[in-house]
Structure 1
Amino acid sequence: MDKKEIDRREFLKASKYLVLVPCYPLLKGCGGSSSSSSGDDSTTTDTGDSATDTEESTTTLVIPPLVEPNVDNQISLQANNGTTNFYDGVSSITKGFVDVNNDAGTSYLGPTIRVRSYNTNSSSTGTAMVDQGTQTNGIDGTDFNRVNFSVFNNTSEVISSHWHGLHVDGFSDGGPFNSIAAGATWEPALEIYQQAGTNWYHTHIHGTTAEDVYKGLAGMFIIDDANSIALDAAGLPSTYGVDDIPLIIQDKVFNSNILDSTNVGGRFKGDVFLVNGVVTPNLEVEAGLVRFRILNASNARFYDFSITSGGETGNFDQIATEGGFLSSAVNLSSLRMTPGERNEIVIDFSSYSEGDVVSLVSPDNEDTTGLDDPFTLMTFTVVAQTSQTANNLIPATLNADIAADRAALVAKTPDAYVYIHLKGGAAPFASLRSTTEVVNGLDNVVDVTFDPTTANFVSTSTQTTPGYTELWHIRGATHPFHLHGCHGMINAIAGVMPSDDKQGWKDVFEVTGGNDVTFLVQFNERAYAAGSAAGPGAGSDFMYMMHCHILGHEDDGMMGVFEVI
């Protein structure tokens, strides 16, 4: 049987690399025990060892369990309160998602969701890129894969489940408008037809997002499509948890080995680093090509990732941004990632010897007291290559259409122009929208007080006007700007065309002082305001959010809402 055809669940059970996977779903690791409260189904998970605040953990990386739709094309999640032992014998208060259908989950973070998309690239129809792919025949004669979700809130606070990176309408987006009260269930049907990519899901309640994501209400969301499946078959590393590894990266503060969840807003900076909920873990990797899906799930920290061994910095290949594959791999020695961003890279460990230790490191961009600079997030120990990775390769072409799609999008005359300034202070968010270009538009924006009942402006979807395109201008002093419901393409950074690694589809855009960012975007889905006569959302608030993805900043109002009709 070809390795690409191995049943994932059966393989995960047997794989020597996932010896700690049972730690993730409700079990304590390394011979420990698990506990569950019958009152609220809270759980305890042990992901740590007996380290002190100043020592690095040597615990093996935990791979989040993989969850796919059941026979009814349904995924059922439950959000729980719980405790987690990040260090042996010491419990911290956390939250996490559990997949009810498979009893897969933890008291910290959630399972990796994986679904199939049915799409064709728009270039095959001669239409300008819409939502990264034209809807086409999928399962059951429909033109998309409708996955039915159920999210039960078993915590004592209001939460939501925002599908960050997914192209869904405002009714299903999972932002503050889709709040789930304690004890309640939310049941959205997600229509999946966008390009393959690495996305994520997390709670998104205004005022509590920073604390609840910090405590663990987040997980990865992978979408596959025909192109990604063909790339896997051609040799791109694709066996989840073995040579296709999720890395959810966060920084934390611990006091006496207990997670400190106070004061996690603003430009929070921790001095302890978790990868998949484990303190500075280690992972054995074969001496071949290994793929990593990196999610910066930190509240506020910016990273510049690189790999080092024996004092030497190594190179790696970036293959995808948030919205899907790049045209071809881009060789890098460092990868910049802001909060909320996802990137996929492939590291060739064949140039290292068996037993070599390779470190994933980053400079301290936040000037954190007492933190090494650069600091280590995790390590990889190289082991002998087996048939699992022997035939791995990076296909020369990853996305045959993206260059033409980009050229077509950039060549369009925008139908509307949006200007946003992430200002901070007492009036942190200002915006302006016009159907004609505004000279010095960023100097003419209007301060907006976040009001979830009132749209800052109304955009037009491609359902209403085919090919409708907007050019967004963003300004700010080192902020990651995130847009719900779509992906865009960077047009320019400080007036200059972006480098090859930034020319893919994105939903998080870094802006820094003096480096305004412009990007082009098309909305294929709709999001309606309360009382709108434009569509089925009338009578309820289901608008899209736009905000700084420093979680404390969005909680403090560096966020706006807009309607798409």
Structure 2
Amino acid sequence: MNPSGRRKFIVGAAAAVGTAGIAAGVAWWRSRDAGLAEPPREPPPADFPNALLVPGPSGMFGVVDATQPLAIVAKATSHPLVPGKPGPMLAYEIEQDGVRFLNPVLKTRKGAGFRARFWNALDEESIIHWHGLEVDSNNDGHPHYAIPGGATYDYHFTVTNRAATYWYHAHPHHLTGKQVHLGLAGLLIVEDDEELALQQALDLTFGVNDIPLVIQDKRFDDSGALIYTPDAQDRDHGYLGTDALVNLTPRPYFDAAPRIYRFRILNASNARLLRLAFRHGEGLIDFHLIGSDGGLLDRPRPLQEAFVPAGGRLDVLLDLRAARSPADLTLVSLPFDPMYNESESSAPAGDHAPHATDGSDAPRRSAIPDGAALDLLRIRVRGKAAYQRAVPQTLSFLAPPPATDAAPRVITFDLAGGVWRINGMTYDIKATPIVVKRGATEVWEVRNTARGMPHPVHLHGFQSRVLSREGSPPQQQSLAVDPGGLAATDLGWKDTVTVWPGEIVRIVTDFSHPYLGDQVYMVHCHNLEHADHGMMLNFRIAS
């Protein structure tokens, strides 16, 4: 059977499952991996002593059926992020069928309706942004719609996006970095027939061998509470943490069987750029990139490493049969040059000690410098598996980038007088300096000046395609897979793209939409401290 025929076959088989997929998906915890022997129980590794938090039927990171109406509460709560220390944090709380969830994984399907009432139970304003979703501006979570403490806001839209790993997080102006760092973020999973076909082809079960990995760096005080106390250097470079967490778990381990695993990776850090790889012994092990921000690629791409900006996602397959059980692998961020030396500030990012929040001068542990090597997750491969599946060579239909003859629109990210700007401007919540005609297809030539640092550029309301990279630094050039300088991670639909100092990245976006009237969205740096201090612009889609 040829690849296109095989894709049609497995998509057809998945479609035959019907719309029961979501209901079954949120009951995944009742199923076990058919044909797999249970990995033997053994003590945790000394250097990774904490079991990875995976999605469950309740509580933190539990799975919620988002095809049902939701009531979402942003509130103060507590959770033992540091083992043995139930520290205060912020979280989104949902109750469904009498079960309480915190920062749940919201699962839905393309074409489903989404209804949610957001209640802000904080003592400051907030709003939820659905990162990566194509929605009208009333539902986008634009900071213009932020509500004060005690108020509510209703969301109502149809999910039109293709299957992918999206996410949701707080987005009030001047407070986004604080609220996200203190906990207000979660995953939103959209499924469609192509996604269900992949799950069937590889015998994937969410939370068992289809594992989301939310990577964040955090700062804590001695009580185990999250702290957000940015100084001038943090506002310049971004707020970097003293500890790296995966699924809100410090130094986690995950026990796996020798089979193919899927890892949906989100870099939910405020500012940290990651260079991810899987280390096995002294070397790196191959993995397959199958998707990015906006869903599956057309076919898998073999890789050994990939950059992931703050706000960006990777969807990867890791064949643990190649590791020959028993084996230990580590998900790492490899060292790289963060290129902060290009900025006007001479101090290296993270090379300073955060101070106590009680007014004393007692130093805390230093933040981990951006670009430093990080060991993130230990994967222990144990047991045996009766598993004969292979990575499909066709994943989805991926249309070519939309075409246009229009001249590119130049969008310049720069630093002037210690102020991060876009097109020479800082954010004015009432201004719309970029106006796009509804239905237009535009190429944006995103330029980052040499006197700067890497910027994760995020476009609200739309998915885009990357056309080319020019002037990339060697560490980016080395990952290029086509003459235009694109890395494998640039090949699919994107909503968050790294632009290095001195680099020009061209992206194309079809600004068609079905909504009435003008729509106002944002383009901004997803380094949240940069965004909070003005590295954002509104753009208006004129009807």
Q: Same fold (TM over 0.5)?
A: yes
Match of 1:74 in 2: 69
- Structure 2 residue corresponding to 1:563, chosen from 522, 540, 543: 540
Instruction: Tell me how far apart the structure 1 counterparts of residues 418 and 282 of structure 2 sit (CA, whole Å).
Output: 46
- Structure 1 residue corresponding to 2:282, chosen from 298, 304, 311: 311
1:5-53 deviation digits (Å, cap 9, x = unpaired): 7923433146599xxxxxxxxxxxxxxxxxxxxxxxxxxxxxxx9x9xx
1:247-276 deviation digits (Å, cap 9, x = unpaired): 110011233344332226442222311111
Asked if the contact 1:98–1:104 (Cα under 8 Å) also holds between the matched residues in 2, the reply is no
Matched, 1:93 2:88: yes
1:364 CA drift (Å): 4.2
CA RMSD after TM alignment: 2.7
Instruction: Tell me how far apart the structure 1 counterparts of residues 33 and 52 of structure 2 sit (CA, whole Å).
Output: 12
Local SS of the residue matching 2:118: strand
Match of 1:474 in 2: 446
Given the superposition, is the C-alpha separation of residues 190 and 384 from structure 1 closer, same or farther in structure 2, using an over 3 Å criterion? farther
1:510 CA drift (Å): 0.8
Matched, 1:114 2:107: yes
Asked if the contact 1:422–1:548 (Cα under 8 Å) also holds between the matched residues in 2, the reply is no
Asked if the contact 1:450–1:559 (Cα under 8 Å) also holds between the matched residues in 2, the reply is yes
AA in 2 matched with 1:92? G
Local SS of the residue matching 2:51: coil
Asked if the contact 2:297–2:398 (Cα under 8 Å) also holds between the matched residues in 1, the reply is no
Match of 2:28 in 1: 11
Instruction: Tell me how far apart the structure 2 counterparts of residues 103 and 204 of structure 1 sit (CA, whole Å).
Output: 29
- Structure 2 residue corresponding to 1:551, chosen from 517, 528, 534: 528
AA in 2 matched with 1:525? H
1:312 CA drift (Å): 2.2
1:202 CA drift (Å): 0.2
Matched, 1:218 2:185: yes
AA in 2 matched with 1:115? T
Instruction: Tell me how far apart the structure 2 counterparts of residues 176 and 553 of structure 1 sit (CA, whole Å).
Output: 15
Asked if the contact 2:165–2:293 (Cα under 8 Å) also holds between the matched residues in 1, the reply is yes
AA in 2 matched with 1:429? R
Matched, 1:494 2:470: yes
1:338 CA drift (Å): 0.7
1:404-449 deviation digits (Å, cap 9, x = unpaired): x23xx2x431376242324364542233xxxxxxxxxxxxxxx223
Given the superposition, is the C-alpha separation of residues 66 and 289 from structure 1 closer, same or farther in structure 2, using an over 3 Å criterion? same
Asked if the contact 2:458–2:497 (Cα under 8 Å) also holds between the matched residues in 1, the reply is yes
Asked if the contact 1:172–1:178 (Cα under 8 Å) also holds between the matched residues in 2, the reply is no
Instruction: Tell me how far apart the structure 1 counterparts of residues 220 and 326 of structure 2 sit (CA, whole Å).
Output: 31
1:483 CA drift (Å): 0.5
Instruction: Tell me how far apart the structure 2 counterparts of residues 394 and 424 of structure 1 sit (CA, whole Å).
Output: 48
Instruction: Tell me how far apart the structure 1 counterparts of residues 121 and 411 of structure 2 sit (CA, whole Å).
Output: 40
The answer to which structure, 1 or 2, has the higher relative contact order (CA under 8 A, 6+ apart) is 2
**Where in structure 2 are the equivalents of 1:49-448 lying within 5 Å?**
57-63=49-55, 64-69=61-66, 73-102=68-97, 110-118=103-111, 145-233=112-200, 235-236=201-202, 238-256=204-222, 257-263=224-230, 265=235, 266-365=237-336, 368=350, 374-386=373-385, 390-402=387-399, 405-406=400-401, 409=402, 411-414=403-406, 417-423=409-415, 425-431=417-423, 447-448=424-425
Instruction: Tell me how far apart the structure 2 counterparts of residues 16 and 215 of structure 1 sit (CA, whole Å).
Output: 35
Instruction: Tell me how far apart the structure 2 counterparts of residues 103 and 290 of structure 1 sit (CA, whole Å).
Output: 32
Given the superposition, is the C-alpha separation of residues 237 and 262 from structure 1 closer, same or farther in structure 2, using an over 3 Å criterion? farther
AA in 2 matched with 1:481? V
Instruction: Tell me how far apart the structure 1 counterparts of residues 81 and 488 of structure 2 sit (CA, whole Å).
Output: 38
Asked if the contact 1:415–1:469 (Cα under 8 Å) also holds between the matched residues in 2, the reply is no
Instruction: Tell me how far apart the structure 2 counterparts of residues 102 and 285 of structure 1 sit (CA, whole Å).
Output: 31
Asked if the contact 1:198–1:342 (Cα under 8 Å) also holds between the matched residues in 2, the reply is yes
TM-score (norm 2): 0.79
Given the superposition, is the C-alpha separation of residues 386 and 101 from structure 1 closer, same or farther in structure 2, using an over 3 Å criterion? same
Given the superposition, is the C-alpha separation of residues 338 and 105 from structure 1 closer, same or farther in structure 2, using an over 3 Å criterion? farther
1:350 CA drift (Å): 0.5
1:460 CA drift (Å): 1.7
AA in 2 matched with 1:74? P
Instruction: Tell me how far apart the structure 2 counterparts of residues 355 and 78 of structure 1 sit (CA, whole Å).
Output: 44
1:154 CA drift (Å): 2.0
AA in 2 matched with 1:474? V
TM-score (norm 1): 0.76
Given the superposition, is the C-alpha separation of residues 291 and 167 from structure 1 closer, same or farther in structure 2, using an over 3 Å criterion? same
Asked if the contact 1:161–1:204 (Cα under 8 Å) also holds between the matched residues in 2, the reply is yes
Count, aligned residues: 460
1:177-233 deviation digits (Å, cap 9, x = unpaired): 221321222111121122111110000011110010001100011111122222323
Match of 1:484 in 2: 460
Asked if the contact 1:427–1:448 (Cα under 8 Å) also holds between the matched residues in 2, the reply is no
Given the superposition, is the C-alpha separation of residues 211 and 220 from structure 1 closer, same or farther in structure 2, using an over 3 Å criterion? same
Instruction: Tell me how far apart the structure 2 counterparts of residues 564 and 520 of structure 1 sit (CA, whole Å).
Output: 15
Instruction: Tell me how far apart the structure 1 counterparts of residues 49 and 157 of structure 2 sit (CA, whole Å).
Output: 39
Local SS of the residue matching 1:273: strand
Instruction: Tell me how far apart the structure 1 counterparts of residues 266 and 421 of structure 2 sit (CA, whole Å).
Output: 26
Given the superposition, is the C-alpha separation of residues 422 and 159 from structure 1 closer, same or farther in structure 2, using an over 3 Å criterion? same
Instruction: Tell me how far apart the structure 2 counterparts of residues 251 and 104 of structure 1 sit (CA, whole Å).
Output: 29
Given the superposition, is the C-alpha separation of residues 276 and 545 from structure 1 closer, same or farther in structure 2, using an over 3 Å criterion? same
Given the superposition, is the C-alpha separation of residues 224 and 515 from structure 1 closer, same or farther in structure 2, using an over 3 Å criterion? same
**Where in structure 2 are the equivalents of 1:468-547 lying within 5 Å?**
468-476=440-448, 477-494=453-470, 496-525=484-513, 536=517, 543-547=520-524
Instruction: Tell me how far apart the structure 1 counterparts of residues 225 and 128 of structure 2 sit (CA, whole Å).
Output: 26
Given the superposition, is the C-alpha separation of residues 379 and 368 from structure 1 closer, same or farther in structure 2, using an over 3 Å criterion? farther
Given the superposition, is the C-alpha separation of residues 391 and 111 from structure 1 closer, same or farther in structure 2, using an over 3 Å criterion? farther
Local SS of the residue matching 2:422: strand
Match of 2:355 in 1: none
Percent identity (aligned): 28
1:391 CA drift (Å): 4.8
Larger CA deviation: 344-353 vs 360-369: 360-369
1:80-105 deviation digits (Å, cap 9, x = unpaired): 21122222332322111122224556
Structure 2, unaligned runs of 5 or more: 1-13, 35-43, 56-60, 339-348, 352-365, 472-483
AA in 2 matched with 1:62? V
Instruction: Tell me how far apart the structure 2 counterparts of residues 555 and 545 of structure 1 sit (CA, whole Å).
Output: 13
1:497 CA drift (Å): 4.1
Given the superposition, is the C-alpha separation of residues 188 and 543 from structure 1 closer, same or farther in structure 2, using an over 3 Å criterion? same
Instruction: Tell me how far apart the structure 1 counterparts of residues 226 and 186 of structure 2 sit (CA, whole Å).
Output: 19
